């Protein structure tokens, strides 16, 4: 029996929206948003979407009208009553009332601000300008829209069974990864793959497969909507966005040098427990830890997101030991370009030396490598970053110069101020 | 939106029937049935289901009640008006009115006769006794029920995503086979996999994948129900059942020696054109062709179903040449235990020497080898055969002694009468 009402209702959609909820975003965005809303609502920022994989000609693949329809749909979204109830009433990281009433009242009225979209050759220039707490909310949905429209563009030309087999292959591949991960008894791993997912439905499938296949070893998802619907922990703390904007706003080199620590001072006031996770690589992990204030060593853990993960984890372990901390009590979260091989290696090396956790991103939610002709569904490196704050350019160095962002002269100044020496370039896959 | 009516309707099923239509059977059964109904309605036969793969303990896997429910459901089936219309009105093998009004009137009232089911150790003994045209209709649905209940028994203990991935793997495997077959430009292949299919839904999926993947190279399915629903050619001619029963009824050795030819005399009267396909291996292909009457060389083709397919095809080609026939005008149908490797080899050797066709069975509709723990979904060799006719035992020799059926002393007598010399035993996979 065909359900006629469902068919008729489905036909009435003008488009098939990629993003259907304000909560279809990463949890750390909301944590950062509360901090930004309370402390820096007046800062003007510009975010820009950048395709680092220039061999993927987005403007050839995706029609501009289609992007506008998707982005306009997102601009029409508002937090629903049920979503608001979940944010207000849920326990996050074991804590109730994570989001204050002032912030929730604001978020309930929140709508996405304007966007600027322009074709430039075979790429699009997509930028967002306005107040920081509004503009920052575009990052994740903008990425998810472009990623999924590209998937749709590629699958549109396929036969029905070709498509079925495409997903059969992707499911098989993912399940084989899960079967390998199941061999690691103390594993803790979560989904960090919202931004560069193949599609919403595929991310949701991947999360459910992880739930069944890994049980307790699967600790949750960064995606708030999926966490809410699947009754999972929402996972995430903070991102490079905070030190990048704080640094851009610094008036001189002295203020610049301490900007990353001011981020963590604020964070220390706003959040506690497992949310106190250091992201040290924005301007070089070694220098950051060397000059860090003593109190930071008491934080719960560290997230390793660029450079050699082994090296950076060892640097953190040494740093904790020097400050009289027991590394076995500390959380180390690896989150940079992970796949099963690397997870196994890092697990073997660190699982009995620290509290270990993995944030698995693109190769969880978008490993379609080799599954379409001309590898047209391989994930690619799309980012959406703050490029300026109050008119000043932002800079990111990270521990991998291939991930550096910002004007060349500013990069040089930052390298000098943060005493970043020679860096090893690593290929950026995703 | 959940369709409540559908959910409620589905819940009202006491069981999930494996076979839901009289037409969920092989087309050749109906062709043979018409001949048997008209010529031998008074012959009493006994059919018996035999599991040649004794390592699969069917009685441990499947509850007896479950089998009875399925068989009882089949006994309640009757040809529907739409099915009757299709049989009466459709064109089969380019010919209208294949089934006469006398036969159709009988078939519209047809119901499956009784069955006898008994557990014997870790196997079941399932037998059917009665008039030939009634009992013979049990063969295909009885096999399909046992095969599918075994699949269900194995998948019942699996997790939801484990099951999804199981089918993802099976789909991927089948699609990769289809992609290989697509490389053979003059291929003609059809689905012969009803009897030992993994399940009805899986056979239906396999057929649809063949339709999309192979287009015109896919010539149809032996399954009448799927042929009707998917608007495909129904494929099939005749089976060992006819010569086995005719031979059992022979009064003496002289009558026995000519029994297989009497089958084809009757067939010649009842059907023409592409339905005139010789199945020569029941009592040895070589001897059968050597002693065949001249007029048989004018038939359309031959089906090679046991022994070495290359050797038997060469024997047939030589035989046609000796009788002044052009083998390039003759149809050779390979149908024994095929998979892609063998299809490619046979295609390479014969495609420009004869009109070539493949009947692909178990490894099309049930290739779940290696996909479940302990290989618990691997296909196995279940057959359902006439074991006696009017109280006399039936015998099948075939070109592979591993496929021989019947009492030992009768097998010896048949070997003597048909002058079958030494035979090469080949493993029977499915």
| CATH code of A64's domain | 3.20.140.10
Predicted local confidence at residue B407, as pLDDT: 96
pLDDT at A429 over 70: no
Predicted local confidence at residue A430, as pLDDT: 67
Q: B140 and B197 share a domain?
A: no
Contact A175 B159 (CB under 8 A): no
Considering the domain boundaries, does residue A336 fall inside one? yes
Q: B95 and B125 share a domain?
A: yes
Considering the domain boundaries, does residue A248 fall inside one? yes
Mean pLDDT score across all residues of chain A: 95
Q: How confident is the model at residue B429 (pLDDT cuts 50, 70, 90)?
A: low
Considering the domain boundaries, does residue A226 fall inside one? yes
Q: B248 and B300 share a domain?
A: yes
pLDDT at A13 over 80: no
Predicted local confidence at residue A424, as pLDDT: 83
Q: How confident is the model at residue B114 (pLDDT cuts 50, 70, 90)?
A: very high
3 state DSSP class of A201: helix
Mutate to test the interface with B, among A7, A158, A172 (most CBs of B within 10 A): A172
pLDDT at A6 over 80: no
Residue span of the structural domain in which B37 resides: 10-156+382-395
Token pair 């427990």 is found at A273
Of A93-97, B70-74, B393-397, the least confident: A93-97
**Residue A47 forms beta bridges with which residues?**
A128, A386
Q: Hey, is the C-beta of B1 within 8 angstroms of any chain A C-beta?
A: yes
Considering only the beta carbons, identify the residue of B159, B169, B209 that sits closest to A172: B169
Mutate to test the interface with A, among B6, B163, B164 (most CBs of A within 10 A): B164
**Alpha-carbon gap: B274 to the closest alpha carbon of chain A (Å):** 31
Q: How confident is the model at residue A3 (pLDDT cuts 50, 70, 90)?
A: confident
Considering only the beta carbons, identify the residue of B3, B5, B212 that sits closest to A160: B212
High-pLDDT (> 90) share of chain B, %: 89
Locate all alpha helices (DSSP H) within A237-379, ordered by sequence: 241-249, 253-270, 285-290, 309-322, 340-350, 362-365
pLDDT at A118 over 90: yes
Q: Hey, is the C-beta of A109 within 8 angstroms of any chain B C-beta?
A: no
Considering only the beta carbons, identify the residue of A172, A208, A212 that sits closest to B172: A172
* Beta carbons of A301 and A325 less than 8 angstroms apart: no
Predicted local confidence at residue B291, as pLDDT: 94
* ipTM for the assembly: 0.79
Q: What residues 35-94 of chain B have any CB closer than 8 A to a CB of chain A?
A: none
Q: B141 and B25 share a domain?
A: yes
Token pair 């022979």 is found at B250
Q: B185 and B250 share a domain?
A: yes
Considering the domain boundaries, does residue A427 fall inside one? no
Region B27-49: mean pLDDT is 97
Total domains present in chain B: 2
Predicted local confidence at residue A10, as pLDDT: 74
Q: A124 and A202 share a domain?
A: no
Predicted local confidence at residue A94, as pLDDT: 87
Q: B144 and B236 share a domain?
A: no
Q: How many CB atoms lie within 10 A of CB B123?
A: 17
* Beta carbons of B382 and B144 less than 8 angstroms apart: no
* Beta carbons of B135 and B47 less than 8 angstroms apart: yes
pLDDT at A12 over 90: no
Q: A143 and A224 share a domain?
A: no
Indicate the helix (H) or strand (E) that contains A410. Answer: helix A408-417
Predicted local confidence at residue A4, as pLDDT: 74
* pLDDT tens-place string over residues A244-257: 999 999 999 999 99
Q: How confident is the model at residue A216 (pLDDT cuts 50, 70, 90)?
A: very high
Beta-carbon contacts below 8 Å between A and B: 58
Considering the domain boundaries, does residue B35 fall inside one? yes
pLDDT at A19 over 90: yes
* pLDDT tens-place string over residues B228-253: 999 999 999 999 999 999 999 999 99
Considering the domain boundaries, does residue A414 fall inside one? no
Q: B210 and B240 share a domain?
A: yes
Q: Hey, is the C-beta of B12 within 8 angstroms of any chain A C-beta?
A: no
Mean pLDDT score across all residues of chain B: 95
Considering the domain boundaries, does residue B339 fall inside one? yes
As a whole number of angstroms, the distance between CA B389 and CA B281 comes to 20
Q: What residues 166-195 of chain A have any CB closer than 8 A to a CB of chain B?
A: 167-169, 171-172, 175
Q: B173 and B97 share a domain?
A: no
Q: How confident is the model at residue A109 (pLDDT cuts 50, 70, 90)?
A: very high
Q: How confident is the model at residue B424 (pLDDT cuts 50, 70, 90)?
A: confident
Q: How confident is the model at residue A397 (pLDDT cuts 50, 70, 90)?
A: very high
**Alpha-carbon gap: A110 to the closest alpha carbon of chain B (Å):** 28
pLDDT at A9 over 80: no
Q: A179 and A108 share a domain?
A: no
Region B158-172: mean pLDDT is 93
* pLDDT tens-place string over residues A174-184: 999 999 999 99
Region B118-137: mean pLDDT is 97
Q: Hey, is the C-beta of B201 within 8 angstroms of any chain A C-beta?
A: no
Which chain A residue has its CA at the smallest distance from B208's CA? A161
Q: How confident is the model at residue B105 (pLDDT cuts 50, 70, 90)?
A: very high
**Alpha-carbon gap: B172 to the closest alpha carbon of chain A (Å):** 6
Q: B223 and B288 share a domain?
A: yes
Region B91-96: mean pLDDT is 88
Question: In 3D, which of B219, B237, B217, B220 has the Cα closest to residue B228?
Answer: B220
Indicate the helix (H) or strand (E) that contains A175. Answer: helix A160-181
Question: In 3D, which of B260, B266, B267 has the Cα closest to residue B291?
Answer: B260
Secondary structure in 3-state letters for chain B? CCCHHHHHHHHCCCCCCCCCCCCCCEHHHHHHHHHHHHHCCCCEEEEEEEECCCCCCHHHHCCHHHHHHHHHHHHCCCCCHHHHHHHHHCCECCECCCCCHHHHHHHHHCCCCCCEEEEECCEEEEEEEEEHHHHHHHHHHHHHHHHHHHHHHHHCCCCHHHHHHHHHHHHHHHHHHHHHHCCCCCCCEEECCCCCCCCHHHHHHHHHHHHHHHHHHEEEECEHHHHHHHCCCECCCCCCHHHHHHHHHCCCHHHHHHHHHHHHHHHHHHCCHHHCEECCCCCCHHHHHHCCCHHHHHCCEEEECCCCHHHHHHHHHHHHHHCCCCHHHCEEEECCCCCHHHHHHHHHHHCCCCEEEEEECHHHHCCCCCCCHHHCCCCCCEEEEEEEECCEECCECCCCHHHCECCHHHHHHHHHHCCCCCCCCCCCCC
pLDDT at B7 over 90: no
Q: Hey, is the C-beta of B9 within 8 angstroms of any chain A C-beta?
A: yes
Considering the domain boundaries, does residue A334 fall inside one? yes
Contact B159 A212 (CB under 8 A): yes
**Alpha-carbon gap: A81 to the closest alpha carbon of chain B (Å):** 20
Of B44-53, B91-100, B137-146, the least confident: B91-100
As a whole number of angstroms, the distance between CA B128 and CA B429 comes to 26
Q: Hey, is the C-beta of B8 within 8 angstroms of any chain A C-beta?
A: no
Q: Hey, is the C-beta of A3 within 8 angstroms of any chain B C-beta?
A: yes
Q: How confident is the model at residue B172 (pLDDT cuts 50, 70, 90)?
A: very high
High-pLDDT (> 70) share of chain A, %: 99
């Amino acid at each position: 029996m065909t359900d006629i009402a469902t068919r008729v209702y489905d036909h009435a959609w003008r488009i098939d929206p990629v993003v259907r909820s304000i909560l279809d975003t990463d949890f750390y965005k909301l944590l950062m948003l509360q901090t930004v809303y309370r402390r820096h609502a007046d800062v003007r920022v510009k975010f820009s979407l950048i395709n680092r994989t220039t061999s993927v000609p987005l403007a050839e693949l995706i029609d501009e009208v289609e992007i506008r329809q998707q982005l306009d749909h997102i601009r029409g979204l508002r937090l629903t009553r049920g979503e608001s109830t979940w944010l207000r009433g849920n326990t996050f990281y074991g804590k109730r009332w994570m989001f204050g009433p002032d912030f929730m009242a604001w978020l309930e009225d929140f709508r996405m601000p304007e966007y600027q979209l322009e074709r430039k050759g075979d790429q699009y220039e997509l930028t967002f300008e306005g107040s920081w707490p509004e503009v920052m909310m575009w990052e994740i949905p903008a990425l998810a829209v472009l990623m999924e429209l590209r998937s749709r563009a590629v699958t549109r030309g396929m036969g029905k069974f070709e498509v079925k087999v495409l997903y059969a292959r992707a499911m098989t591949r993912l399940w084989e990864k899960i079967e390998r991960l199941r061999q690691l008894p103390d594993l803790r791993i979560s989904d960090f793959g919202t931004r560069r997912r193949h599609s919403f439905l595929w991310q949701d499938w991947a999360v459910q497969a992880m739930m069944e296949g890994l049980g307790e070893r699967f600790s949750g998802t960064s995606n708030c909507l999926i966490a809410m619907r699947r009754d999972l922990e929402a996972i995430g703390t903070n991102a490079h966005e905070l030190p990048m904007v704080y640094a851009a706003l610094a008036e001189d080199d002295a203020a610049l040098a301490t900007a990353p620590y001011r981020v963590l001072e604020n964070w220390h006031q706003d959040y506690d427990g497992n949310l106190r996770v250091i992201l040290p690589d924005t301007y070089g992990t070694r220098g950051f830890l060397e000059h860090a204030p003593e109190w930071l060593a008491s934080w719960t853990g560290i997230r390793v997101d660029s450079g050699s993960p082994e090296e950076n984890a060892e640097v953190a372990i040494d740093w904790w030991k020097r400050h009289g901390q027991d590394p076995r009590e500390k959380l180390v979260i690896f989150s940079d370009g992970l796949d099963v091989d690397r997870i196994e290696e890092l697990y073997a090396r660190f699982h009995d030396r620290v509290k270990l956790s993995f944030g698995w991103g693109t190769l969880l939610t978008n490993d379609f490598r080799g599954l379409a002709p001309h590898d047209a569904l391989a994930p690619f490196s799309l980012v959406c970053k703050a490029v300026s704050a109050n008119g000043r350019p932002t800079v990111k160095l990270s521990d991998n110069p291939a991930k550096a962002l910002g004007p060349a002269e500013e990069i040089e100044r930052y390298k000098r101020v943060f005493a970043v020496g020679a860096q090893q370039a690593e290929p950026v896959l995703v």
